[in-house]
C-alpha cells in the first residue's frame, strides 16, 4: 500500500460496538436487549473496515452498543441518540430507565468523545463512514434494500436544509463505485439509492463536497455493505470478511490515487 497517501484516509465505524457503559447497570437491561443489539448493530464492521494494517490509515471506532448510545444521531435529540426504546421495544426494564440527566451525561461523554476524536484527526484527504445493512431492510423512507453495497455522498433528512447535504464531490463517489465494481463484478453496487432520508451525524458533521480539509471536515463517502455477503444465518464467514476487507482497501487506495490525479 502507498503509505504516504493512505495515511490521510480516515475511517469512521460508528455502529460496530457492543460494550455497555459502566454508568448503566446490567440488571436494568430488558429481556429484549440482546435481540435489539442483534437487530441494530452493524455486525463485524470493526473488522470489515479496519484497514490499519494494510493502509496505515487513521480510524475511529465506537466500541459501545448503538442501541444504548447512537453516535450517528443528532446529539440534541436525546430520544434518538440515547433512546429508551427502539422500534417500540424496551431497552430497559420498566421503571429502570436512565433519567434525562443521565441520558444527557451519556451523550455528553460518549457521543461527544467519538466526534471529538474524529475531528482531531489531521490531514484528512478522504473519510469512509463504514456501516452494514442486509437485504430486505427498510430505510426511513420504507425503501427496501436489495443491493449488495451502497455508497453515499448525499443525505436529505429532516435535519438538512431544503436542498439536502452533499458530503463529497460527485467524482469521488463515481470513482469509488467504479473501483469496487471492477473488483467485485458479480455484486450489485449502487450510489445514493437508499438511506438518503436517514440522518447520519457523521456525514452531517464531518463531510463536505470540496477538496481536502475545511476545518474539521473532509470529503466523506458513507458505505453500507450487506451482511448477506459475509454472514450466514447469523454466523460470520471470516474468510469472506477478510476477502471484502482487502478488496475495500484496494478500491479505496485506487480511488485516492485517481482523485489526486484528477485534482493535480
Q: What is the pLDDT of residue 263?
A: 77
Q: Order across the sheet with 58-61: list the strands.
A: 58-61, 9-13, 126-133, 220-226, 149-152, 189-191
Q: How many angstroms separate the CA atoms of 39 and 186, rounded?
A: 27
Helices (H) then strands (E): counts for the chain: 10, 12
Give yes or no for residue 90 having a pLDDT over 90: yes
Q: Across-strand partners of 223?
A: 130, 151
- Condensed to tens digits (0 to 9), the pLDDT of residues 227-252 reads 999 999 999 999 999 999 999 999 99
Percent of the chain with pLDDT over 90: 92
Q: How many angstroms separate the CA atoms of 197 and 216, rounded?
A: 24
Q: What is the mean predicted confidence (pLDDT) over 129-136?
A: 97
pTM of the model: 0.96
Residue-averaged pLDDT of the chain: 95
Percent of the chain with pLDDT over 70: 98
Give yes or no for residue 3 having a pLDDT over 70: no
Q: What is the mean predicted confidence (pLDDT) over 85-103?
A: 97
- Condensed to tens digits (0 to 9), the pLDDT of residues 145-200 reads 999 999 999 999 988 867 899 999 999 999 999 999 999 999 999 999 999 999 99
Q: Are 188 and 147 in contact (CB under 8 A)?
A: yes
Q: What is the pLDDT of residue 262?
A: 81
**Could you tell me whether strands 58-61 and 9-13 are parallel, antiparallel, or unpaired per DSSP bridges?**
parallel
Q: What is the mean predicted confidence (pLDDT) over 78-106?
A: 97
Q: What is the mean predicted confidence (pLDDT) over 89-100?
A: 98
Q: Which residues of 166-198 are buried (b: 16+ CB within 10 A; e: fewer)?
A: bbbbeebbebbbebbbebbeebebbbbbbbbbb
Give yes or no for residue 226 having a pLDDT over 70: yes
Q: Please state which CATH class domain 3-18+43-66+119-263 belongs to.
A: alpha beta
Cα distance from N-terminal residue to C-terminal residue, the chain: 21
**Could you tell me whether strands 126-133 and 220-226 are parallel, antiparallel, or unpaired per DSSP bridges?**
parallel
Q: Are 202 and 72 in contact (CB under 8 A)?
A: yes
Report residue 48's pLDDT band, with 50, 70 and 90 as the boundaries.
very high
Amino acid at each position: 500500500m502507498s503509505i504516504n497517501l493512505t495515511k490521510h484516509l480516515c475511517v469512521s465505524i460508528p455502529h460496530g460496538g457492543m460494550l455497555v457503559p459502566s454508568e448503566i447497570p446490567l440488571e436494568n437491561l430488558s429481556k429484549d436487549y440482546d435481540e435489539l443489539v442483534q437487530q441494530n448493530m452493524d455486525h463485524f464492521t470493526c473488522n470489515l473496515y479496519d484497514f490499519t494494517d494494510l493502509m496505515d490509515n487513521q480510524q475511529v471506532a465506537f466500541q459501545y452498543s448503538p442501541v444504548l448510545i447512537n453516535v450517528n444521531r443528532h446529539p440534541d435529540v436525546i430520544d434518538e441518540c440515547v433512546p429508551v426504546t427502539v422500534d417500540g421495544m424496551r431497552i430497559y426494564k420498566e421503571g429502570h430507565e436512565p433519567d434525562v440527566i443521565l441520558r444527557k451525561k451519556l451523550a455528553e461523554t460518549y457521543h461527544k468523545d467519538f466526534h471529538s476524536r474524529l475531528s482531531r484527526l489531521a490531514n484528512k484527504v478522504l473519510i469512509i463512514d463504514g456501516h452494514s445493512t442486509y437485504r430486505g431492510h427498510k430505510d426511513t423512507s420504507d425503501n427496501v434494500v436489495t443491493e449488495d453495497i451502497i455508497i453515499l455522498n448525499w443525505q436529505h433528512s429532516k435535519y438538512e436544509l431544503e436542498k439536502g447535504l452533499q458530503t463529497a464531490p460527485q467524482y469521488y463517489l463515481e470513482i469509488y463505485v467504479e473501483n469496487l465494481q471492477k473488483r467485485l463484478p458479480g455484486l450489485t453496487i449502487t450510489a445514493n439509492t437508499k438511506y438518503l432520508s436517514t440522518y447520519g451525524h457523521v456525514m452531517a458533521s464531518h463531510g463536505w463536497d470540496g477538496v481536502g480539509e475545511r476545518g474539521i471536515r473532509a470529503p466523506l463517502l458513507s458505505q453500507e455493505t450487506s451482511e448477506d455477503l459475509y454472514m450466514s444465518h447469523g454466523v460470520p464467514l471470516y474468510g469472506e470478511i477478510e476477502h471484502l476487507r482487502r478488496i475495500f482497501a484496494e478500491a479505496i487506495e485506487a480511488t485516492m490515487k485517481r482523485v489526486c490525479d484528477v485534482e493535480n
